[in-house]
Each structure stands twice: as C-alpha cells, then as structure tokens.
Structure 1
Amino acid sequence: MHPNATTATEREIKLINTIRPILSAEVYEALIMFLTYTSLFSTILGILSNVFVIIVYTKIGFSEAINISYLALGISDLSLSATRFWGTVCYAFVVTETNVPFDPLGITVTTSFFPGQGFEKATAFITAFIALERCLCVQFPLHVKRIVTKKKTVTSIVTIFLFAFIPSNFIHIVFPLKWVFIPAQNRTILAMVPLQTPLRYIIQRALLAYYGTVLHFIALFAVWIFTIFLAVGLKRTAEIRKENFQPSKAKQIKQKEDRVIKTVFLLSLTYFICSIPTAVTLLVPHFEPEFETSRGLARISSFSHLLSALMVVMNSNANLFIFIYMGSKFRETLVRLFVKKYP
C-alpha cells in the first residue's frame, strides 16, 4: 500500500473517532430535521421580505443610482430564496421519506443547487458593487454624479447577473432530466440522468470550481477591500466637505451620506458573517480531503453544507431589516404601503 494512503486512512479513522461521540446517529438526525425545517422557514421569509424590498424601492423611485443597486439586490435575493425553497422542499421529501413522482435529491442539482449558486454569487457581487459604488462616492465626492450614473449602474448589474447566473445553466447539458421507469417500484419518475461522457466531468468540475472557489472568494475579498477603502475615505471626505460647503449644508450632506454608508457597512458585515460557514466548508477539504471523500465523515459534511445553505438564505433575509433600520424613506414608504391597503 502506498504510504500516503496509509497515512490518509489513519487520519480518517482519527477524525471519525473524534466526531462520532459528538455527532451520533440520533443527534445527526435531529440536527438535519432542525436545519431542514429552519431552512424552509427562512426561504419563505426570504421570499416575502425581498418582495417587500422590490415593491418599496420601485415606489421610492430611482432618482439615485444606489436605489437601482438595492433593487437588484432584492431581485437576486428573491430568486435565491425561491430556488433554495424548492431545494429545501425536495430535501424535506427525502427526510420524511415521501413518495413523489420525481427523484428529490437528483432533481435539485439542476433545478435548485446550481441556479441557487448563480443567484448566490450575483448577490455577493452586487453587495461588492454597492460597496465599490459608495467607496467611489467617498473618494471622489466632487465628481460623484459623473462617476456613478444610472446607466453605468444598470450596465454593471446586468453584467453581474450574466457572468454569475448564465454559466449555471450549463449543468442542464450534462445532467438532463428525463422520465425513468423504476421496475422495483413499478412507476415512472422524473430523474436526473447524467451523460456518460468525459464532457460531463469537465463541465461539472469547472462549474464547481467556478462557483465554489473562484467567484466565492473573489466576491468575499472584494466586499471587504471596498468596505475598508470606504472607511479610510470617510475622513478625507469630511475635510473636503468643510472646504466646499457651508456648515449647515455640510451637516445635511453628512447625515445623508452617513445613513447610506452605515447601510453598506451592515450589508457587508452581514454578508461576511453569513459567508463564513461556506468559506470553511470550501476550505476544509483542501487540508482534510477525507472531509468530502470519506463515507465515515458523511454526517459532518452533510451538516456543514446544510448549515452553509441556511446562512446564505439568512443573509438574503437580513436586507429588509437593514433597510428598515437605516432608511427613513424606506420605512415611511413601507408604512404607507400597509396603511393604504389596510386602513
């Protein structure tokens, strides 16, 4: 036996022996049930909250370019929550052993997992774009209207959706859905039928690397680099404002900018916190390959992926509450929406 294989086996046994007392079969099943139904609730909340975000920003209008970005964030998070909702429902069918006319786990690969990856990364890069937009406004306050225009914002948002979502559709080429007869069950179900060609493995690995590593960590670093530059530029902006505006005008501008900047900080902070489980889940296999390949570690791997998916949806849920907390105009519009409909 190859020495590396022996070492890997010993390490695998050590990891399993460490985890087994903590994550017994009973504890694992309870956790999976909890995460599944918590995710189901979170996805429903995400759908409702982002519908409100979209409606409110549509009513507020787009006199400011930042509102276009907020609307795009709501659309992306609504789409993410909807696809995750479908995937969680399918997983719930597996957990409860419900007989449905399709293969729940197989069908979610092309109808939930990869589309969800596309919208998840779109949300990440829109968050990074919002941080960049505010960073430019702070760094170049006298040229903000020329730098951050509605046309440039729309073009940037459309570009983000194109490179984040469209590649996820390539999975349909190598994992098509077909009706398959199951002799043991004497019924026909809709199932994923992978192509048995080298192209399948090339596209599958390319998509996993593209979404799981490249886009995830680029977006994560971009959000915080732009947010750091934003914080550094605040002091410089305050000095320029004092030199070019009357004290009362400078105070008014500062209050407005502070609200927007605090909103961006909260969006970035929430994204960072909710991305930590995903980042850990992606990085651990590089140091412990058995984490993904060992059947003995399947429980902890499954748990970590479900937790990561839940945190991603919770990031989408947070937007409404951040906008309510930080945006007086958002709050007023939201209240008027309900008061008008339910006097």
Structure 2
Amino acid sequence: MQAFLKRTFGRKRAAWLLLGASVIVLASCGERPAKNELVVYSAGPREMAESICKEFERRSGVPTRLFSATTGEIMAKLAAEEFRPQADVVILAGQTAAEVLREQELLAPLPEGDYLKMNPAWNDPDGFYAATGACALGVAVPMDRKDVTLDWPAIFDGAIEGKFIMPSPSQSGSSAEFVVSFHLNSPELFWNGMRGLKKRGLQVSGPNNQALTSLILGAHEGVMGAADYLVFRQMEKGEPLAMHFPPSGCPLSLRPICILASSRNLAAAEDFVEFCFTKEVQSMIAAMHLLPADPEVELSEQRRSAPELRPLLVDVREARKAQQKALHQFRYEIEKGVR
C-alpha cells in the first residue's frame, strides 16, 4: 500500500498522507473497534454518508462508525492501519483505487444478490466491488460562457477564453480517473490539449471543492475535469454556473463499495453493502445529483435538466496498468510544468 501511495501521489505527498493518517489513527482509533461495531470509510459527500450510516444503524441495530474523507486520505489511512485494520466497509470515489485493494488481496467477495444486476458494467467482474453510483467529469463554466456545441478539441484549443483550474489528481480520486481515462481513450488529444491549457495559465491544485470555489469567485473561467454532482449542487443553491458535457463523451468516475477481508463484522458489512443498493439509499444518492446504480431511480432535477451525457468507461484493469505512467506524466509535465 505504501508503494502505491508513492507511485500515485509522489514520495513527499505520500509521506505526508501516511503521517496524517497515522495521526488520525493514533488520535481516534487507538483500539480496534468492538466486534459488533461496523466501521465505514467513505468518500464524500459527507452528509450523504452520514445519513446512510445513521439509517443503517437505526434499522439494523448495529452501531455504525463513519470516517469520511477524500479517496486519497482513505487510502492513506488504510495504509497506516495495515497491521491493525479498523474498517469493515470502504466506499471510494474512483474504481482504480478499489482495484488496488483487490490486487493486494485486501478485499472479501461481495454477497451475491440481484443488486449486482442493476448496472453490471459498473462492477468488478470477479465480484469484489460494485459501484453504488457515479459522476461524470466534464467542464464547469460560468452560465454566460455556456455553449453546448463545444467538443473537447475546441475546448483544449482555447474556445473558452480565460484561465482554467483543475483539481489535483493527488487530492481528488475523480481527477485521477479523468487523467487516466483520457490517457487511454484519446492520448494525443489529451496531452497536447493539456499542454496548451498549461501555456494559457492552467492551475492544478487542491480537491474538487477548492477548484469549484475558485470558479465561483471569478478567479478562473473554467474547471477542467469537474465532478458534475458538485457543480449541480452549486447550481441548486443559485450559483450562475453551467455543467458542460462535450458531445463526444465524458469519463465516468464510479463510486465502488467493498468489504475488507480483515472485517471483524462480516455479516453486518454484507448487510450494509446490500442496504446501499436499496431504493431508499439509491434515492439518497440521486438526490445528491450523482448517477445512481439503479436505473429505475429518478435522477435529480438538476441532472434531468442538464445537457445529454455520453458516458465513457474504460477497462479498469487497463486503467490500473496505465495509472502510474499517466499520473506521473501529468504530475511532472502538467502540474509542475517539467518536461
């Protein structure tokens, strides 16, 4: 796990993540959870994760403890707890991160059930993780810059004037998925396009919310690789923003759920996984403007009103193989500007 963090985030960043996770573990998890307690580590939205855990506890009677953080922070915490694991269930904002856990044989198989038939293309074919929902990664712009006809080549060539910002792949699991997906699907377009954006002042920093705040405050004119559900949430609050899905398609960032093989409460963990695919929880997911795994659940009004989305999925095994090279190239050539 530590090797993975170094490859994905860089040696210094990985060290800080591991140190931060170690502090969290020492401060709040000095002892392993009680055997009947369920511990869930989940990427945001935090309020949604809290609601799901509270409702599961109310219904099942199983005490449920939540740690909510970014995917990078969760992976760091898992690495810090390697010899004293705490979590039973993990929900991540990125399929590649779940694939890392599967490769390292840290996962238990998910329980069989009809929920796995909802959206089989979103699930691990070997049954170790399944996506509860997803978001699309496109371009966020001010409402007065909205142009639904613009495709990726035009955007990369500067059709939207002004400086762009992009969440850092080292702090955003969805941003890392954006890089790897484009690297596999359209490498020449992506790398030449990102170099052009860099020359025109592209800033790569912070997590998703920080990049979006920069757009709202007017410091930038667009967010590249924006997580659509966060943009929809701001639009719901009245912010004059638009979420643009280029017609040729946008990468999807899946949100897989998995059970750690070290779980001390396997029965409750399996119940929690199945609970996350009930109509009630899938409706919670849709209400947060995410794409639910259940195709029969109604989408949020903001998402229904958005331009048509053509989702692009990559083979997760191929993505895992390409991840190190793609993120290393992005970190040094685009984020740091070194070639």
User: How would you bin the TM-score normalised by the shorter chain?
Assistant: under 0.3
The structure in which a higher percent of residues are strand is: 2
- Taking structure 2 as the reference length, the TM-score comes to 0.23
- Taking structure 1 as the reference length, the TM-score comes to 0.23
Q: Which has the larger radius of gyration?
A: 1
The structure in which a higher percent of residues are helix is: 1
